[in-house]
Chains A and B, each alone.
Chain A
Amino acid sequence: DSGVTQTPKHLITATGQRVTLRCSPRSGDLSVYWYQQSLDQGLQFLIQYYNGEERAKGNILERFSAQQFPDLHSELNLSSLELGDSALYFCASSHQGQEQYFGPGTRLTVT
């Protein structure tokens, strides 16, 4: 158990819909990272937040957005969903930019 929690574990939704994935970092970690992992691709970095502020951006689509709240939990919002958005979405947290600890992931299926 990494100490990072993610909800929900599984999500099935239809194309065009919008979903919100939630992540709580390890106690004391200020940085939260979001990744997407598709079957045919490796882990793709989406976005990082540090203490509520966006810190770095990766290959995040405009249809996707994220935020980190004052209690340091983070949400990833995915809208206008397409079949190709089906993937595992991982959240990770770190302390002072050191190694990242990953949550169990949310498996999103878009039908």
Chain B
Amino acid sequence: GQNIDQPTEMTATEGAIVQINCTYQTSGFNGLFWYQQHAGEAPTFLSYNVLDGLEEKGRFSSFLSRSKGYSYLLLKELQMKDSASYLCAVRALVEGTASKLTFGTGTRLQVTL
């Protein structure tokens, strides 16, 4: 099975930087995704890591260490609209070439003035 851990809630100030951590345990690892989800809305894709290192995309960056089963999402220059849940999701091979995406329970980020 898979186990994904991320903090339940975080609070940060507008304009600041926040790092949301995710640790996972899985077999057949085949990539890690970060999604943003506003309450009652669909998750939207933010980033994807399959190799170790940092992927940067504007104000958002994501880091992966496969040997440590660890990833983080870094959000810079926080804006009020960044208040949302951030979901860490791990893809793993299940059978042959089929894979399954398992989501963590999400980190609810509140950005304050």
Contacts and interface: CB of A to CB of B under 8 A. Distances in A.
Contacts of B99: 56, 97
B11 to A, nearest CB: 20
A8 interface: no
Contact of A105 (B42, B45, B103): B42
Given A58-B100, A101-B45, A42 B33 contact: no
B42 A100 contact: no
A62 interface: no
Interface in B34-48: 40-45, 48
Contacts of B102: 45
Contact of A42 (B95, B100, B105): B105
B101 interface: yes
- Sorting the interface of chain B by its residue count into under 10, 10 to 19, 20 to 34 or 35 or more gives 20 to 34
Interface string B5-49: 000000000000000000000000000010000001111110010
Contacts of B105: 41-42
Given A42-B87, A42-B104, A43-B87, A102 B98 contact: no
Interface in B89-110: 89, 94-95, 98-106
Nearest to A90: B42
A48 interface: yes
A53 to B, nearest CB: 10
B78 to A, nearest CB: 23
Contacts of B100: 45, 48, 56, 58
Contact of A43 (B43, B45, B94, B98): B43
14 contacts: A2-B44, A42-B103, A43-B89, A48-B98, A56-B94, A56-B99, A88-B40, A90-B42, A97-B99, A99-B45, A100-B33, A102-B44, A103-B42, A104-B42
